[in-house]
Amino acid sequence: MRNLMLSDLVAKVRDYPGLKRKHAISMFVDVLEPVQDFGDTVLGFGEDAAVLRLGDEYILFSSDGIWSKLHADPQWAGYCSVLVNVNDIYAMGGKPVAMTNNISYMMEEEGRLLAEGIKDACHKFRVPMVGGHIHPDSDFLSISVSIVGKTRKLITSKDCQEGNDLIVAIDLDGRKRGELLNWDSTSHKASEVVLHQLGGLNEIAERGLVTAGKDLSNPGILGTIGMLLETSGKGAVVNLDTLPIPEGVDMAEWVLMYPGYGFVLSSQKENSEEVIRVFQERDVEARVVGEVIRGSKFVVRESEEEELLFDFEKDRITGIKMG
């Protein structure tokens, strides 16, 4: 279901605050790039998690702050602060080890609700929260979480290859969270179910079935695909007619949604069927939605319409290009 012309949908994606707020990343990368590696960094800026080598394993390190739009529901903000970090680690093919937090709040009840949300998510994803720092006398509400994970096999964000299929995998068994553009597909499920679904990323990484991947996040589904392409230095053609979408949800809203379980991956065509099977065996809807192409243009198609979403020679999301 779609209530906008494709050209209007493209304009809405380009103007979405969840995407536009990523533009500021480039300034910090410019300043901090000289200090991202003193010998042990394998991958840094542009990945869902930084990668450090430790013996025969990779250590994954990531940190996420929660958008202020979620602060009206502190319990949900606390829950999401864990969820987004956990997804970053699995997106890299890893398994989480532990987390810490940094919390600011004005009223004690806000702080308690943040903590309750964190606790609920830690139980859900079975990741310990081992420490942190609080500012109980702040004049604003804020929460960020840092996470450490580990893996032996990586899924990167920079290695899309020309001719690869683009696969989107989303758990459609969920609901929109109030007026937020959040698709909650985890809070109502048992921990064992959620972890079984996330384990699909570990299997895919261990078997080397994909060339690149990212978790779908604040820029929305199309915005996250754009980040994957931008970092890899590639373009793509994506067909919205093949995008997994819950029944009755408007496409113009769906492409901006932050799904609780959602990933985009690129794979060699001969591996795509197996990648999709891994997800479907875990009750996750996965489909080929497009193809990676040479050049810098990200084109979106629907029915007989076609529109240019981004040209990374002129446009930027994060400005990071590693491919």
Mean per-residue pLDDT for 247-251? 94
Would you say residue 1 has pLDDT above 60?
no
Please, which residues have CB within 8 angstroms of residue 210's CB and are 6 or more apart in sequence? Answer: 155, 167, 204, 265, 266, 267, 271, 275
Q: What share of the chain is helix, strand, coil (3-state, %, to 5)?
A: 35, 30, 35
What are the two backbone dihedrals, phi and then psi, of residue 154, each rounded to the nearest 5 degrees?
-100, 145
Residue 228 has what pLDDT? Answer: 98
Residue 67 has what pLDDT? Answer: 92
Please, which residues have CB within 8 angstroms of residue 323's CB and are 6 or more apart in sequence? Answer: 158, 159, 160, 231, 232, 233, 234
Give the separation between CA 106 and CA 134, rounded to whole angstroms. Answer: 11
Please, which residues have CB within 8 angstroms of residue 151's CB and are 6 or more apart in sequence? Answer: 57, 58, 60, 92, 93, 94, 95, 202, 205
Read off the DSSP letter of residue 136. Answer: T
How far are the Cα atoms of 162, 206, 240, 260, 306 from residue 237, in angstroms, in the given order? 11, 28, 10, 25, 9
Which tokens hold the place of 21? Answer: 């707020």
When pLDDT is cut at 50, 70 and 90, the band that residue 46 belongs to is: very high
Residue 221 has what pLDDT? Answer: 97
Would you say residue 323 has pLDDT above 80?
no
Domain annotation for the chain: domains and CATH numbers: 6-22+156-311 (3.90.650.10), 48-151 (3.30.1330.10)
pTM (whole model) above 0.85: yes
Would you say residue 2 has pLDDT above 70?
no
Q: Strand 182-184 to strand 258-259: parallel, antiparallel, or no bridges (unpaired)?
A: parallel
Read off the DSSP letter of residue 34. Answer: G
| Sheet containing 258-259, strands listed edge to edge, beginning at the edge strand earlier in sequence | 175-176, 182-184, 258-259
Yes or no: say if 170 and 244 are a contact pair by the CB < 8 Å rule. yes
Mean per-residue pLDDT for 117-146? 97
The residue type found at 170 is: I
Residue 63 has what pLDDT? Answer: 97
Which tokens hold the place of 273? Answer: 């069927």
Angle between helices 269-280 and 191-206 (to 10 degrees): 160
Average pLDDT, the chain: 96
Which tokens hold the place of 160? Answer: 């899309």
Residue 322 has what pLDDT? Answer: 87
Mean per-residue pLDDT for 44-57? 95
Would you say residue 144 has pLDDT above 80?
yes
Mean per-residue pLDDT for 28-41? 94
When pLDDT is cut at 50, 70 and 90, the band that residue 207 belongs to is: very high
Residue 3 has what pLDDT? Answer: 62
Mean per-residue pLDDT for 157-165? 97
Tell me the per-residue pLDDT of 255-278, one tens digit each, with 9 for 90 and over.
Answer: 999 999 999 999 999 999 999 999
Closest CA to 258 of 228, 298, 215, 299: 215
